[in-house]
Structure 1
Amino acid sequence: MPVDTPLQVRILDAIHDVPAAAWDALIAPGAPPFVRHAWLSAMEQSGSATEDTGWAPHHLTLWRGKKLVAAAPAYLKFHSMGEYIYDFGWANAAAQLGVEYYPKLLVGGPLSPATVPRFLTAPGEDAQALRRALLEAAVASAEDAGCSGVHVLYPTDEEADFLEEAGLARRITLQFHWKNPGYRSYDDYLARFDSKRRHQLKRERAAAATQGIQLRTVRQADLGPEHAQRAYTFYTSTCERHSWGQVQLTPGFFERVFRDLPHAVEMVEAVKDGRVIAGAFNLVTPERLYGRYWGCTEEHPFLHFNVCLYQSVDDCIQTGRKVFEPGAGGEHKVSRGFEPTAVHSAHLIFDKRLDKAVRGFLRMERQRLTPAVEEAERICGLKPWTPPETPPETPGSSGAT
């Protein structure tokens, strides 16, 4: 199909309106699973992300003839739950101005606070031109749908630059990520802390053994339907334990993800007396681990840290993964070596009064960012790390005979 063939914009009411192969052909190898057709399909087909739950699919696609050349996952949102870029104060300000804040158009994925390419383009295409066309389609379709504005959540740094240059208000917030500069062992990681902190981390990790708890990571061929059921059980147990918790995912979501994305799913499990008493549902790529949901049926000191942090840090070192993103929030991660990391969003609100107020708020928020990062780095307290020198080989150490 010639590149000068006119582009056609199509808004899809379901991810199943486009073939999985066509959608996934736009995604670079090794990209996080949160943008893949199977992940979005699991959200929608399971009833977890639908109009009834406040997530009406509104996917933006560009076609050249019958060929899909660009796309952006998007939803009409009727609340702000499950986004993790908090704008509840903006909704309150809108109400004071007499502005209907919902629906709004969200470009991104449901319940997935991870940086992922948001503007997907086919290889060989003019990516920048297609991004502009997708953004124009987002703004036009949002206006047609009566939305208050457009919000792009967790774009890549390059996409955030593009969106800011296009006139959207850029927001920078913090997550806390564990980063692997090339550790050879868990002891290399511990060596970056002072002796007091190192003793604390060792004591917390050793607690599992003294409690008779074994930790294991289950992946790929060892995963079965029972693990999907456990993941749902632990997820709901955490939601129901906290006043802010809200069960948004259904059992069908976990069943579909475990079935359709087996190479992207891992479970950390805690076993005591032959029973799985706690677990964490994680997503993986060759380079990164993404922590998503955890829960337990028994309470034990430091169980959360062992299941959600220490086991996966050690596993990342063993597998050579470079980054562990344990999700939004959780300042307790900082003192355990998770470093402050900027994540981005971009916002365009159609009411000029509200848009001006939001931009003013973001300017003040940005001024507080540097002190927040400095404080987090102080609490984190990681010493500079230099890879230990490899000992010289001694004669015969190669194993040659």
Structure 2
Amino acid sequence: MDSKQSETQDLTCRSVPTIDAFSEEEWNSLLSNDYPFARHAFFVALEQSEVIGRKSGWIAQYLAVYRGDKLVAAMPCFIKSHPYGEYVFDWSWAEAYEDAGIEYYPKLVCAIPFTPAAGPRLLISASEDQVEITTYLLGGMRSLTDQIQCSGAHILFPTQSALPSLIDHGFLERRAVQFHWFNRNYLTFDDFLATLTSRRRKNIRKERKSIGDQCVEVRILDGDAASASDWSTFYRFYQRTYLKRSGHTGYLNQGFFERIGASLGNRLVLILAYVDDDPVAGALYFKSTDTLYGRYWGCLAEYENLHFELCYYQGIEYCIKHNLERFDAGAQGEHKLMRGFEPVYTYSAHYLQHQGFHQAIGDYLQREHSLIQQYLDDAKAHLPFRSDLT
């Protein structure tokens, strides 16, 4: 839908079906930091490779706010006909709607497709009044939800600092837990190991030693240095692993990886493992100035502890070497705890058009908050750090 949603004085809110409606410069001017997944090039890669679009059930409806002719705010929104690729699980909500004879789909989602990494979702120019534009954007999202007859509006993985405004505008807060690693000014990997109990320290050293014992060589490439052959090889890993784990070839395709390699190479780190000079596995990371994001992994054959090495230990070493503050290694994974990753909250915000369901889900989320808090506290109790350092 291209038409205007609303106007206030010289502000205009529109929904736009393609990122090509914005220049790279004007879109990126809205970003307050270098969080890689909100950049113009990332959405271009998603669209041009057709991993989002009508066939995939991710139909773009970018909300854009203009002051006169100048873009001053935006939200990456999508009409969804299914729950896949969101990593915020609302299947039970959809079932409850179905039981009540009410359609849950389509729904309107503000998110980074296939990316459970918290970051900015309401992109607002620093020169604008943040409160005013937030109100205008969220009003535009609610209006669009009504116009296209969606069951509700959902904002996935916003930053914690954005939550109060979302709640003030009637959205329900939902919490979940991920496991992130934090760099406490370590100079070497051994400095990090020294903070762990002797048992965990010994276990990690044993796991890392097994990589060399299997004659596996690890090579690290900045995305700019990766060749077309490297991306083809990595996609093969990604596709095969998804097929084995999930029965399908993954949400992304080779064209997507090639495009981000060309346009976001300076934000990427590609780690490949070789045996006898033949590539056997790989992991792909994104990065900002302070955070490393572990995103995709794949392998052709099973090697003991290779997943831990490529997806966790190499990421930790990279953060230490490059003075990055945090390592977000992706969703889920309690096994990360024993490797020094700490439980943190992630968030989502939800507005349901049906007020009865909005109230009922709000009550459910209040109960769920207590369970999530208990889970986080229990996870903290199992952290592997030495007691004399806490």
Pair 1:335 & 2:359 matched: no
SS at the partner of 2:385?
A: coil
* Count of paired positions: 383
Q: Counterpart in 2 of 1:87? A: 90
- State whether residues 238 and 295 of structure 1, in contact with CA within 8 Å, keep that contact through their aligned partners in structure 2: yes
SS at the partner of 2:246?
A: coil
TM-score for the superposition, normalised by structure 2: 0.95
2:370 to 367, 370, 375: 367
Q: Counterpart in 1 of 2:237? A: 234
Q: Please list the CA deviations of residues 117-159 of structure 1 after superposition, one character each: whole Å capped at 9, or x if unmatched.
A: 1111112110111111000000000111110000001111121
Q: Please list the CA deviations of residues 19-68 of structure 1 after superposition, one character each: whole Å capped at 9, or x if unmatched.
A: 11110110124x21111110011111110011210000010000112110
Between the aligned partners of 1:38 and 1:347, the Cα distance in structure 2 is 27
Q: Counterpart in 2 of 1:399? A: none
- State whether residues 61 and 79 of structure 2, in contact with CA within 8 Å, keep that contact through their aligned partners in structure 1: yes
Stretches of structure 2 that go unaligned for 5 or more consecutive residues are 1-7
Going from structure 1 to structure 2, the CA distance change for 1:142 and 1:244 (only over 3 Å counts) comes to: farther
SS at the partner of 2:50?
A: coil
Q: CA deviation at 1:220?
A: 4.0
- Identity value in percent: 34
- State whether residues 238 and 245 of structure 1, in contact with CA within 8 Å, keep that contact through their aligned partners in structure 2: no
Q: CA deviation at 1:270?
A: 0.8
Q: Please list the CA deviations of residues 80-104 of structure 1 after superposition, one character each: whole Å capped at 9, or x if unmatched.
A: 1001011111111111111111110
SS at the partner of 2:382?
A: helix
- State whether residues 232 and 254 of structure 1, in contact with CA within 8 Å, keep that contact through their aligned partners in structure 2: yes
Pair 1:152 & 2:146 matched: no
**Letter aligned with residue 365 of structure 1:** E
Pair 1:162 & 2:165 matched: yes
Pair 1:98 & 2:105 matched: no
Q: Please list the CA deviations of residues 284-342 of structure 1 after superposition, one character each: whole Å capped at 9, or x if unmatched.
A: 11211101110101111111101111111111111111101011111111111110011
Pair 1:292 & 2:295 matched: yes
Q: CA deviation at 1:243?
A: 3.3
Q: CA deviation at 1:5?
A: 5.3
User: How is 1:68-217 mapped onto 2 (pairs within 5 angstroms)?
Assistant: 68-217=71-220
Q: Counterpart in 1 of 2:24? A: 20
User: How is 1:253-332 mapped onto 2 (pairs within 5 angstroms)?
Assistant: 253-332=256-335
Between the aligned partners of 1:351 and 1:233, the Cα distance in structure 2 is 44
Between the aligned partners of 1:243 and 1:220, the Cα distance in structure 2 is 27
Between the aligned partners of 2:161 and 2:224, the Cα distance in structure 1 is 36
1:53 to 52, 56, 59: 56
Q: Max radius of gyration: which structure?
A: 1
Stretches of structure 1 that go unaligned for 5 or more consecutive residues are 387-401
SS at the partner of 1:101?
A: coil
SS at the partner of 1:276?
A: strand
Pair 1:6 & 2:10 matched: yes
Between the aligned partners of 2:66 and 2:211, the Cα distance in structure 1 is 54
